[in-house]
């Protein structure tokens, strides 16, 4: 079967393309935004990428078109698809129909930490010899790909996004997956372009809860009022909580301020984790993954030992390079809570030198300015911050600069921003670049400029 994917370079759709290719289908795709790491792994898999959404990208006529949720009516590719009366479906529906049946499905949901937690869980299962399948909205470096089928009958880990499904299906993606185990990591307001308030997102999370069988399991973070409201709407599955509360079934105790060492306590057992990641938010992600892996028979000592060999997914506190003692870190943080958590962890792990933050507020929620009042405070653990005003951001970052608790600068040009960073940076500094997009290739430009100045 020839499957064409509209929006193929999105993290979810690109992963779906890999699964379709592994199933033996001929796969092609179109997208307006083609950049690594997704474009690289798609091309390596022999998938034909076509730039833009021209009508002739749908020739020769595919047997099925899978439509990404970023495409709306009015898009040239969507209109061509409908006019030609081609068979079409959504990515989540295709996954539910062709990959998930017969598998033990573990869905990882939450406003933050889905990619890291799903990557951790897949790695724990892999280390236990279970060869899981997975679809993750990033590229786990322990695997080198964002999706694979895994062994027949092995568990399947899916990053379960609450964003809507497609232009013709406005339910959240995760309602399609019908998991045996659902991890609910956290929940706060996001995706202001499709949800009017937090209550609307809570309702979608409850739709997910409704699909978990009574013989399944809900793994729920403690200290999350929104998740408690979700469960209060009705719950028909066993619930285990994880976090730092003394009453939680899975409990976390930090042994270092930067969370690079922590203790896990569960069912009368405890084990210590020493690993490369930092930040309490990542330790909680690991705790969730351990709890989920336990539902597949992975014991606590084995799981904790495997975490020491875990490599962060690409774009999650990923060290892109170090020049003259100056480290450049890439992070996907796209929400004030995620920005604050990442910087807090890196601050504790940076005993020498400064922590310099470079942030592009690029997500749909950021572009709408819904959370702009929280941005200034989110960077208080940095020594200085540069805010980049991208094209299409309809509000000014000046108010964020005015109320910033640390020295803050606005930049409108990437080359000028790189020059300013190089002029400021000195040995032992860590520059963390935060964006949910390509950010104009700033990471490579910054490393090249640092090499010229400090190499």
**DSSP string computed for 287-332:** HHHHHHHHTTT--HHHHHHHHTT--PPTTSSEEEEEETTEEEEEE-
Same domain, 106 and 254: yes
Instruction: Specify if 173 maps to a domain.
Output: yes
- Predicted confidence (pLDDT) at residue 441 exceeds the cutoff of 70: yes
Tell me, yes or no, whether 313 lies in a domain. Answer: no
User: Does any domain span residue 244?
Assistant: yes
Cis upstream peptide for 60 (omega within 30°) = yes
Tell me the pTM. 0.79
| DSSP character at residue 101 | T
Segment 393-421 mean pLDDT: 79
Q: Do 110 and 70 reside in the same domain of the chain?
A: no
- The verdict on residue 262 lying in a domain is yes
**Is residue 115 part of an annotated ligand binding site?**
yes
* More confident position, 447 or 310: 310
pLDDT at 107: 97
Residue 257 parent element (H or E): none
**370, pLDDT greater than 70:** no
Whether 409 is covered by a domain: the verdict is yes
In a domain, 312, yes or no: no
222 and 302, same structural domain?
yes
Show Cβ contacts of residue 156 under 8 Å, excluding neighbours closer than 6 positions. 99, 100, 103, 104, 105, 106, 132, 133, 134, 135, 150
247 and 359: one domain? no
Domain boundary (91, 112, 129) is at: 91
Report the SS3 class of residue 83.
Answer: helix
**114 annotated ligand binder:** yes
Q: Please give the pLDDT value at position 369.
A: 59
User: Any binding-site annotation on 110?
Assistant: yes
> Of 66, 91, 116, which residue is a domain's last?
91
Residues 251 and 205 in one domain: yes
| Residues 288, 186: Cα–Cα separation, whole Å | 11
When pLDDT is cut at 50, 70 and 90, the band that residue 206 belongs to is very high
Residue 144, domain extent: 100-307
Residues in the chain: 455
Q: How many domains does the chain have?
A: 3
């Amino acid at each position: 079967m020839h499957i064409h994917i509209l929006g193929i370079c999105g993290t979810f759709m690109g992963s779906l393309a890999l699964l379709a290719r592994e199933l033996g289908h001929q796969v092609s795709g179109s997208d307006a935004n083609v950049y690594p790491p997704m474009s690289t792994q798609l091309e390596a898999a022999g998938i034909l990428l076509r730039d833009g959404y021209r009508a002739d990208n749908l020739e020769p006529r595919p047997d099925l078109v899978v439509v990404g949720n970023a495409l709306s009516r009015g898009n040239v590719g969507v209109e061509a698809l409908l006019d030609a009366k081609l068979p079409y479906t959504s990515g989540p529906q295709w996954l539910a129909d062709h990959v998930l049946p017969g598998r033990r499905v573990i869905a990882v949901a939450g406003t933050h930490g889905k990619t890291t937690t799903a990557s951790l869980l897949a790695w724990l299962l892999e280390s236990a010899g279970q060869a899981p399948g997975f679809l993750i909205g990033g590229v786990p470096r322990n695997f080198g790909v964002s999706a694979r089928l895994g062994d027949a009958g092995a568990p399947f880990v899916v990053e379960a996004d609450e964003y809507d499904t497609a232009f013709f299906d406005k339910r959240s993606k995760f309602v399609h997956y019908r998991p045996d185990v659902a991890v609910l990591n956290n929940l706060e307001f996001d995706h202001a372009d499709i949800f009017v308030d937090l209550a609307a997102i809570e309702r979608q999370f409850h739709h997910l809860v409704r699909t978990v069988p009574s013989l399944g399991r809900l793994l729920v973070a403690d200290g999350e009022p929104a998740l408690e409201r979700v469960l209060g709407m009705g719950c028909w599955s066993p619930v285990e909580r994880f976090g730092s509360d003394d009453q939680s079934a899975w409990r976390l105790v930090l042994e270092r301020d930067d969370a690079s060492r922590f203790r896990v306590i569960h069912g009368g057992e405890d084990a210590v984790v020493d690993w490369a990641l930092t930040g309490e938010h990542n330790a909680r992600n690991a705790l969730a993954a351990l709890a989920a892996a336990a539902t597949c028979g992975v014991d606590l000592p084995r799981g904790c030992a495997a975490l020491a060999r875990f490599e962060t997914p690409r774009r999650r506190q990923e060290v892109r390079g170090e020049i003259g003692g100056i480290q450049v870190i890439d992070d996907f943080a796209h929400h004030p809570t995620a920005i604050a958590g990442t910087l807090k962890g890196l601050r504790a792990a940076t005993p020498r030198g400064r922590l310099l933050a470079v942030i592009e507020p690029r997500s749909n929620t950021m572009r709408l300015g819904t959370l702009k009042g929280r941005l200034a405070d989110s960077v208080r653990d940095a020594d200085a911050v540069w805010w980049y005003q991208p094209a299409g951001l309809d509000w000014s970052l000046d108010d964020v600069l005015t109320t910033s608790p640390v020295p803050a600068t606005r930049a409108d040009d990437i080359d000028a921003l790189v020059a300013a960073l190089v002029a400021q940076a000195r040995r032992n500094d860590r520059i963390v670049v935060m964006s949910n997009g390509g950010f104009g290739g700033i990471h490579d430009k910054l490393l090249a400029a640092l090499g010229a100045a400090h190499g």
